[in-house]
Structure 1
Amino acid sequence: MRRHKPRITWLIGLVILYVLLWARISFAQPTPDLTPVPVWIYNADSFEFWRTPQGELQGFYPELVRAINLKYDTHLELRPVGGPEIGQRFNADSYGVYAGVLRTESRARTKILSSKLFINEVVAASPSMSVNTAEELTNARVLFRQNDATLESVQKRYPDLTFRSIHLVATSEEAFRLLSERKADFYINDASEMENTQRYYLLSHPFPELRIPVVLGFSPELRDLREKVNTFIGEGYRSGALRKALEESKRQYLLSRIAISNPEKDWLANNPLEIWLPKNENFAPIIWKDNRGYQGTAINMINDMRELLGMEVEVHFIDNYAETLEKQHWPIRLVDVAESSNTAHAAGRIGPDIAWHNLYYNRIKQPFLWDEESIRGQRVGVLEGSFSARYLQERFGNDVVIVTQHNLNGLIDAIENNKIDYILGDLSSLESTLRGNELFRGVLKVAGVTRSEFIVGPWVQPDHPLFQLLTQVHRLSSFRTQLERQEERDFFPDLTKNTLKIVSVILLVTALFSLFMLIMMRRHIKENRLINRNIVQALEKVNRAHDDETGSHIQRVAKYCAMMARELKLSRKMIAEIEHFASLHDVGKIAVPDRILRKQGPLTPQEFSEMKLHTTKGYTIIQGLALGPVAENIIHFHHEKWDGSGYPEGLRGENIPLEARILALADVYDALRQKRVYKPAFSHEQACEVIFDGAGRHFDPQLIALFREHHLKFRTIFDSLAD
């Protein structure tokens, strides 16, 4: 046995060596890398990403990151950072994944990008102005967020668009602050950046062709990860999971903006929420009725209460709403009509009020209402139980013959059969009815506008248990309505030969229908322009009848303004609007008492303070007529001065809209040349001396330089249109 011991020892040693080698190889295998991969995201609340009060991350991207980690055992980790930092990291290709990247052509060439996650629309936010086309932003003061692709995308898609000024901001919060301080006109960014439901503002959609894909970006080290992510995105689109996640994130984000207290929950659990709305009268844009049913912000708010919060809302549509409103004491009124001085209404407001001025209509060959007082003794047709009926009764009593009808067609029949002299009602109802009436299209005109200052808006009893909740819901609903848009559909069906034949026939029919629609649209555009012109002419004549200014003064001021706008090389549309609306600059004097307006002598300080209100009153009068920002700026700001000493806002320098600065110079020149009760007429030379002296104080120095060059044209215009 001893002879075999060395062999046994050798075998045992060999086994031990094998075990050690196996252990070494096994333990030498690399462990999986558990180092998190940062996913950089802009740190601002939106449906893409937000924090709960407890600090938990919610939104589309947190859900996306969790789903990718679960599927591929990756270790992506969301890292919120500020706008400048994420921009610097992305431009430098710093390590990580980048969420919310806007895909542009230049980025597609130079960066590693994923497939499309969703499409973002570019919108423009403003506290008080709205635009329909990109051209209307010409000469506007605009804000863009720095290190963002929106400015590049706008400039590439609209190369001829020029702004008065461009200012880059670090955050959206800074942009909205500058807007509220009137240091800019519009903040332009993709829609997700506008989701601030803490304040009211108007959203415009002037870039319908500009829809920017939102993608993920990858640093060069993570190029391989892109394939996994693209596979995940493709599967998500095919299954519908990605679209569903987007919609749910948007819904949950909006819900997160609303805080429902326990007392509010208890009230809703034990009480029905009842709301009364007008059935047969329009109060656009709060509520109106068309062939699709009831529309407007009140309807949107009710739908949001039902869909977002699951609230049970009982809606009652009431005939003779304005008449019933005075008799009832409804605690919740989404359509409340009150005088602007009504403090009870002010205490219960849950949203912005709208100036409410109804319009008089009569036949084109009949005279305008030079003064609303001349309506006394006339027969005026109104809808039964409407606000117009209440207005006439309260303002004129038995001095006006009020003829009521159940509907607008009845009013048109009455004026056709000479049973009434005028129709009084809201602009949206009457214009929509006239457009559908072949007989009276182009036969009736705007004859005048009501002068009493009423406002219409949503109201809730201040001590109502739901006052705060409904205020939040109204603000959220206003935001949601403005931002709502149709998502892009990817739909490419396989076409057989038979299908192609059918499609060809459909396309032919569609082409013929489109041609017909283009002809109709052109006709409607002409009609709308005529309506707009009639409104302006009516307001001009009403204002002239109320004030001592002559028609020649209005014509001259319009000519001065148009000439200066042309010399400034403004767009043709801008020149036309400035000339067209210059005549309305003092329309607010309609609301100034005659004792002040026609006073033969200097005004007292108190009277002058009341006179100065004509700028804000004029702005209120025309707000509901949708004449556009040029008209609004001319009326509101034509008494502002370059050094900030003007009124009503005390704007300074370029913060004053250009059209208002032009109007101010033209108006002063013509006023100096005219003989007034309180002064003699100035010669051209004397007027020029006064205007030159106002450079840098009253007037824009650049406009003064232009005036020096073309002052003889002013004299020619004055002489050719002398009174």
Structure 2
Amino acid sequence: IDILKKKIPKEALYGKIVIIGSTVDSLLNRSYQSYVGEDEYSSIIHANYIENLLNHSFLVQNEFYKKLNIAIAFLISLLLYILFIKQWFKTILIVTTFTLLSSTLWLLITFKDGSYISIGYLWIPLLISSTILLIAIPFSKNRKEREKLKKDLKQSFTSSASSMVLVANTHDEETGEHIIRTKKYVKVLAKKLYHKNLYSNFITPHSIELIYEAAPLHDIGKVGISDAILKKPGKFTPEEYEVMKTHSRLGADIIKESLENYESNPLLEVAYNVALYHHEKWDGTGYPEQLKGDEIPIEAQLMSIADVYDALISKRRYKESFTYEKAESIIISERGRAFNPILVDIFIEQKEKFKQISLEWHEEEMV
């Protein structure tokens, strides 16, 4: 009142903070309830506020709780991601709901005790990660179903292919062991190409498996060759050899007919190339289309070396089996003629693996 009536000189107030009206509130006994439930006079509240201003001592949330909330949010988000990978979708919903409810309860309990701990640092990252994962769940389920269908179709095709190979083998002297050996040879060569980063536009872990699965179909066309020619004990006449050469195109036609039932089938596409082109030669003197160099699909080039090597070390009606050393020298001598020089160099590096495969899947007629 004295200040308002200007009874106190300005010099006495210079550099000081004065609360106007606080005395009136005190005289009227006006009080306010603090957040902890205690009655406080407005003058006391004003005084405390001024003291905090002067001393920079405002009460703020402890940094520890902010960091704790962020750490908990990170750990729970990591847990949700692991659950998503394992496709435990119901558990994701349970964990998210439990975390939100328990953190809300914690907030209420601490607030009742006169403290406020912001849990926004927990909720916001958690809600973002949960929302993303929950949105992704339907897509994940569809992907899982598509993968299962794809796997079932592949198994179905593989079974059908095996049946066709068995039918073809009833007309040919080539055995089941020959089929296994050649596809294993092909895989050895292809994996080495991959590790050397060669033909990387096609050779990948996925394509290696495709070639491995398709390799048994390389001679499927022999099912269309008569037994009189196929099982002839001696050398073919020129006319018989021309008929025999048609087996590659016959095999490709069989696979092409199957391909027409699919919009896209990478396995059949690889099988088609293997069947049609595995008798092509690097210098262009092979058949059926006299392709040269890398005009020949790489999967057919791989099959060519595997097929020739196994034919050399195996006994046939028209020949005795060759020793491993003789077979290896023939393959090497055809470097740049029948075979891709790169593949021959890899064969030289891997020839012991070829030998081990042939010994593991040996036949009585082999060396």
Name which of 179, 182, 206 aligns with 1:573: 206
Matches within 5 A, 1:113-124: none
Q: Which residue of 1 aligns with 2:303?
A: 663
* Residues 14-52 of structure 1: per-residue CA shift (max 9 Å, x gap): xxxxxxxxxxxxxxxxxxxxxxxxxxxxxxxxxxxxxxx
Q: C-alpha separation between the residues in 1 aligned to 2:294 and 2:157?
A: 29
Alpha-carbon distance change, 710 to 518 in structure 1, aligned in 2, over 3 angstroms: closer
> Cα offset for 1:609?
0.4
Q: Which has the higher helix share?
A: 2
Structure 1 unmatched ranges of 5 or more: 1-506
2:283 partner SS: coil
Q: CA deviation at 1:577?
A: 1.0
Q: Could you tell me which amino acid in structure 1 is paired with residue 153 of structure 2?
A: N
Q: Of residues 504, 528, 533 in structure 1, which corresponds to 2:153?
A: 528
SS of residue matched to 2:170: helix
- Amino acid in structure 2 at the alignment position of 1:552: E
Deviation (angstroms), 1:539: 1.5
Q: Give the Cα–Cα distance (whole angstroms) in 2 for the partners of residues 710 and 555 of structure 1.
A: 17
Shift of 1:620: 0.3
Residue matched to 1:672:
312
TM-score by length of 1: 0.29
Structure 2 segments unaligned to the other structure (5+ residues): 1-131, 195-202, 260-266
Of structures 1 and 2, the one with the larger relative CO (CA 8 A, separation 6+) is 2
The SS at the match of 2:258 is: coil
1:592 aligns with 2:225: yes
Shift of 1:586: 0.3
Q: Name the counterpart of 2:286.
A: 646
Who is 1:556 aligned against?
181
Task: Quote how far apart the aligned CAs of 1:516 are.
Answer: 4.4
**What is the letter of the counterpart of residue 618 of structure 1?**
G
Whichever residue aligns with residue 685 of structure 1, its letter is: E
Q: Kindly report which structure 2 residues correspond to 1:375-524, keeping only aligned pairs within 5 A, or say none.
A: 514-524=139-149
Distance in 2 of aligned mates of 1:555 and 1:701: 25
Does 1:620 find its partner at 2:278? no
Structure 2 CA distance for partners of 1:523 and 1:702, relative to 1, 3 Å? closer
TM-superposed CA distance for 1:541, in Å, is 1.1
Partner of 1:24: none
- Contact 2:214–2:268, Cα closer than 8 Å, also in 1: no
Q: Which structure carries more strand by proportion?
A: 1
How far apart, CA to CA, are the structure 2 residues paired with 1:648 and 1:640? 7
CA distance in 2, matches of 1:662, 1:518: 33
Paired residues for 1:97-112 under 5 Å: none
Structure 1 residue 517, shift from structure 2 partner: 3.1
State yes or no: 1:608 paired with 2:233: no
CA distance in 2, matches of 1:690, 1:508: 59
Contact 2:313 2:327 in 1 (8 A): yes
Match of 1:701 in 2: 341
Please, what is the CA RMSD of the aligned residues? Answer: 1.9
Cα separation, 2, equivalents of 1:547 and 1:721: 19
Matched, 1:540 2:173: no
What amino acid maps onto 1:584 in structure 2? Answer: L
Matched residue, 2:30: none
1:684 to 324, 348, 354: 324
Q: 1:565 to 1:515 in 2, by over 3 A?
A: closer
Q: Give CA deviations for 1:218-261 in whole Å, capped at 9, x if unaligned.
A: xxxxxxxxxxxxxxxxxxxxxxxxxxxxxxxxxxxxxxxxxxxx
Q: 2:360 — aligned with what?
A: 720
Structure 1: distance between partners of 2:149 and 2:142: 10
Shift of 1:624: 2.5
Within-5 A mapping of 1:42-441:
none
Q: CA deviation at 1:510?
A: 8.1
Task: After TM superposition, give the deviation of residue 692 of structure 1 in Å.
Answer: 1.2
Matches of 1:508 and 1:600, distance apart in 2: 67
Amino acid aligned to 1:659: E
Q: How many aligned residue pairs are there?
A: 217
- The alpha-carbon distance between structure 1 residues 593 and 706, as it changes in their structure 2 partners (threshold 3 A), is same
- Name the % identity: 39
Amino acid at match of 1:641: K
Question: What secondary structure is seen at the aligned counterpart in 2 of 1:601?
Answer: coil
Q: CA deviation at 1:511?
A: 6.4
Cα shift at 1:522 = 3.0
User: CA offsets, 1:585-631, max 9 Å, x none?
Assistant: 00000111111111121111111101100011100000122343311
